[in-house]
């Protein structure tokens, strides 16, 4: 957008980071690896029992390094192109260029591939040979691999995981076909240019792996394997955009965050029949082996930190995340039962079954806010899509009711205070445990119960009186004298806090409070929150200050995130000292929310999508395209002086649901019609269905 010559979406370096954890990742919704790593992972395929369960390591045939022996004065570059979802290694001399490209096919999720291209750049006829170094051995510590017969020139192995997550549980079988990799490739004297392509297919059935490999081979024969992948990425980027006229590092960070998050979501359209999505872990599919990046488990990180960004652009992918939670509801019901409660308690760490798989019991027993976090994602989805089918037919209502039942059973009545308490919990601030009435946990329980009651009314289902009573009477700690929210009963101002906790009441919970209280919460907790704590923390402080129109104070908080972004491929680390999860999608999700919900002021409510922009001094313009709302796609162009909104797509099946923009101060209405733009001076307002057209 700005006139920078450097493309903010392309990250190039002449060397690789010394820490291999910081190498670029190539993933899709099903397969993932770090470049030059000897293993890859499969979404939803774990090995090990309960607390030992981790992503099953699959040997990676795409772990290949290209060299030219004996060559002098070679220019070498490594590039991650987030626009095409492709990692490239280029060796260039005066006589030739050798290019190695690696990618996980975005739309055909069972495929990974790499190619080698040698092209002459001078009138020489000497053969050019590149060597390919691969440590690949078809063995795994997590799979009982057997060799099968070759298929269409590909080698074949298959095998089950060794240990099920729960006794008697499934042990998925992994099937893999791959093109054999030679030790060297040569461009002969009479050839100007030649490419070689190498394909890997992975699936959980012999039929699917052979079908996928055959499809890849057909695309290779047509010369369109890589182009079909880049076209899928082009469609993905056309459907969503967050860009701005502002500092290059900020733009690069946004593109990096979007690339890594979009890499993890299911492709648009049903191009992979039978494919079930198994959620997103904090470190993504490239990580999660035993002892690494929380072993590939799914946390609240998915539902609270990543989900809102995905929802606003790709509600179909957001639905797949919710379907994962619905499929694991049985495990959540068992979790609650084992702890002596009714309803469903979602695990702090989830893998294949929904049973608690956290290696340390204290988190699974006490960090119960995750159950409300899951339901808030369902609420946000319902408010932006009105997809009643998910709830009426596909299991959503059963989940909502089970969560409400859990919260009611988890509360105890206090005669002394005449309200309900939730005792013995760990709040998001994990420095404290066994506390009573965590303000975040209790406010989340209240929100869960209110949503459950709302959706019951929408479906004309009788609302249990217990839900209403518990929501109305649960204690949400508040200090009326100091006018702030204590983190829990007995919290003393000044006590150190690990990460964003109370500040989450303002966003994303949108718990009712005055601007004065919102400010007091921010000022109370900002100085006592660990500076090198988890990366998503400062994004939420930034959103809070943007709400209060303290834009420079917000920017100073957001700038703290840059210490978690590593070069050259914009991989995030969980903690600024380099510890914790790597390729930390949670931090990226928080950062994206700071712009997508902070700069714009977007808020998802029951009746509308609100906006109230606040833009920092060094940002002149913010463009957000592809915002999904009730099946429409909206493009927002925001400056400090003007908001322009355009409906770029309207739902074909429901043309009688036009939208309008309403300004808060004046009540002025602007009809939003397909293909047309409206503009008005920058101010607070909202998008809603036109009242004349509502049911």
- The residues that bridge with 67 in the sheet, in sequence order, are 131
434 DSSP 8-state letter:
S
Distances (CA, A) of 632 to 371, 646, 653: 30, 10, 11
Contact (CB, 8 A) for 93 and 82:
no
CA diameter of the chain: 92
Distances (CA, A) of 97 to 51, 65, 184, 191, 569: 49, 15, 16, 13, 23
Q: CA 223 to CA 228: how far, in whole Å?
A: 10
Q: Where are the beta strands (DSSP E) in 10-95?
A: 10-13, 25-27, 31-34, 39-42, 46-47, 54-55, 58-59, 65-67, 75-81, 86-92
Q: CA 279 to CA 196: how far, in whole Å?
A: 34
- Residue 630 token pair: 């009730």
Backbone angles phi, psi at 24, to 5 degrees: -60, 155
- Residue 422 token pair: 């939730």
Angle at 282 between CA 629 and CA 325, to 5 degrees: 55
Q: CA 461 to CA 455: how far, in whole Å?
A: 8
Contact (CB, 8 A) for 376 and 387:
no
199 DSSP 8-state letter:
E
Taking alpha carbons only, the member of 580, 597, 280 closest to residue 430 is: 580
* Cβ neighbours of residue 60 closer than 8 Å, sequence gap 6 or more: 33, 37, 38, 39, 40, 136, 200
Contact (CB, 8 A) for 360 and 347:
no
* Cβ neighbours of residue 506 closer than 8 Å, sequence gap 6 or more: 513, 518, 521, 522, 543, 544, 547
Q: Could you tell me how many residues make up the chain?
A: 695
Contact (CB, 8 A) for 281 and 296:
yes
Taking alpha carbons only, the member of 347, 368, 367, 369 closest to residue 358 is: 347
- Residue 562 token pair: 């840059």
- Residue 69 token pair: 């022996």
Contact (CB, 8 A) for 100 and 111:
no
Contact (CB, 8 A) for 463 and 404:
no
Active site residue 430: yes
467, 471, 475, 481 alpha-carbon torsion, rounded to 10°: -170
Judged by DSSP in three states, 521 sits in: helix
- Residue 476 token pair: 């949400």
- Residue 62 token pair: 């795409």
Q: CA 395 to CA 629: how far, in whole Å?
A: 23
Q: How many CB atoms lie within 10 A of CB 649?
A: 15
Residue in 316, 430, 530, 642 annotated catalytic: 430
- Residue 132 token pair: 């390919």
Element (H, E) at 313: helix 307-313
Backbone angles phi, psi at 439, to 5 degrees: -65, -35
User: Which positions are catalytic?
Assistant: 430
């Amino acid at each position: 957008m700005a006139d920078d010559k450097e493309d903010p979406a392309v990250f190039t370096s002449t060397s690789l980071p010394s820490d291999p954890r910081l190498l670029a990742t190539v993933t899709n919704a099903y397969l993932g690896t770090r470049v030059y790593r000897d293993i890859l992972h499969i979404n939803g395929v774990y090995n090990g029992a309960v607390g030992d369960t981790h992503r099953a390591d699959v040997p990676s045939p795409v772990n290949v390094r290209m060299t030219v022996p004996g060559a002098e004065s070679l220019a070498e570059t490594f590039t991650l192109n987030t626009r095409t979802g492709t990692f490239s290694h280029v060796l260039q001399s005066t006589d030739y260029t050798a290019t190695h490209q690696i990618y996980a096919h975005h739309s055909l999720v069972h495929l990974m591939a790499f190619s080698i291209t040698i092209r002459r750049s001078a009138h020489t006829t000497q053969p050019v040979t590149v060597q390919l170094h691969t440590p690949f051995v078809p063995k795994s510590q997590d799979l009982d691999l057997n060799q099968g017969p070759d298929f269409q020139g590909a080698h074949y192995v298959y095998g089950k995981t060794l240990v099920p997550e729960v006794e008697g549980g499934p042990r998925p079988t992994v099937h893999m076909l791959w093109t054999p990799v030679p030790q060297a490739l040569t461009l002969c004297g009479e050839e100007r240019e030649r490419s070689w392509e190498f394909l890997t297919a992975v699936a959980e059935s012999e039929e699917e792996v052979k079908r996928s490999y055959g499809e890849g081979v057909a695309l290779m024969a047509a010369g369109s394997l890589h182009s079909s992948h880049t076209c899928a990425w082009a469609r993905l980027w056309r459907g969503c955009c967050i860009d701005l006229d502002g500092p290059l590092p900020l733009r690069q960070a946004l593109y990096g965050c979007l690339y890594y998050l979009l890499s993890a979501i299911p492709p648009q359209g049903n191009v992979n029949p039978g494919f079930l999505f198994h959620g997103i872990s904090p470190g993504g599919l490239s990580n999660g082996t035993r002892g690494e990046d929380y072993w590939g488990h799914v946390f609240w990180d998915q539902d609270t930190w990543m989900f809102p960004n995905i929802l606003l652009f790709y509600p179909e992918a957001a639905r797949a995340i919710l379907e994962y939670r619905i499929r694991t509801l049985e495990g959540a019901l068992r979790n609650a039962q084992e702890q002596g409660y009714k309803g469903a308690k979602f695990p702090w760490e989830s893998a294949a079954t929904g049973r608690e798989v956290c290696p340390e019991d204290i988190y699974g027993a006490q960090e119960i806010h995750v159950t409300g976090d899951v339901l808030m994602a369902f609420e946000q989805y319902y408010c932006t899509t009105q997809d009643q089918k998910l709830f009426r037919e596909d299991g959503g209502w059963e989940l909502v009711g089970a969560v409400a039942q859990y919260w009611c059973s988890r509360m105890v009545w206090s005669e002394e205070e005449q309200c309900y308490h939730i005792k013995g919990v760990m709040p998001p601030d994990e420095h404290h445990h066994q506390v009573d009435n965590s303000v975040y946990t209790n406010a989340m329980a209240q929100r869960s119960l209110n949503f459950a009651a709302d959706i019951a009314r929408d479906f004309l289902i009788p609302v249990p009186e217990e839900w209403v009573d518990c929501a109305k009477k649960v204690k949400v700690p508040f200090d009326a004298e100091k006018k702030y929210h204590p983190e829990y009963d007995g919290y003393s101002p000044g006590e150190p806090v690990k990460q964003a906790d109370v500040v989450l009441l303002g966003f994303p919970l949108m718990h009712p409070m005055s601007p004065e209280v919102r400010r007091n919460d921010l000022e109370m907790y900002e100085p006592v929150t660990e500076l090198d704590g988890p990366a998503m923390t400062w994004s939420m402080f930034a959103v809070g200050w943007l709400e209060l129109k303290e834009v420079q104070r917000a920017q100073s908080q957001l700038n703290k995130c840059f210490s978690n972004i590593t070069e050259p491929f914009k991989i995030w680390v969980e903690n600024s000292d380099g510890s914790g999860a790597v390729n930390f999608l949670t931090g990226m999700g928080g950062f994206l929310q700071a712009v997508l919900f902070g700069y714009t002021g977007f808020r998802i409510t029951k009746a509308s999508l609100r906006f109230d922009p606040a833009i920092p001094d060094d940002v002149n313009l913010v463009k957000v395209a592809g915002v999904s709302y009730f099946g429409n796609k909206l493009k927002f162009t925001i400056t400090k002086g003007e908001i322009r909104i355009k409906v770029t797509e309207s739902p074909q099946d429901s043309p009688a649901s036009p939208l309008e923009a309403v300004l808060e101060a004046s009540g002025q209405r602007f009809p939003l019609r397909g293909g047309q733009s409206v503009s008005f001076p920058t101010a607070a307002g909202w998008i809603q269905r036109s009242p004349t057209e509502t049911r």
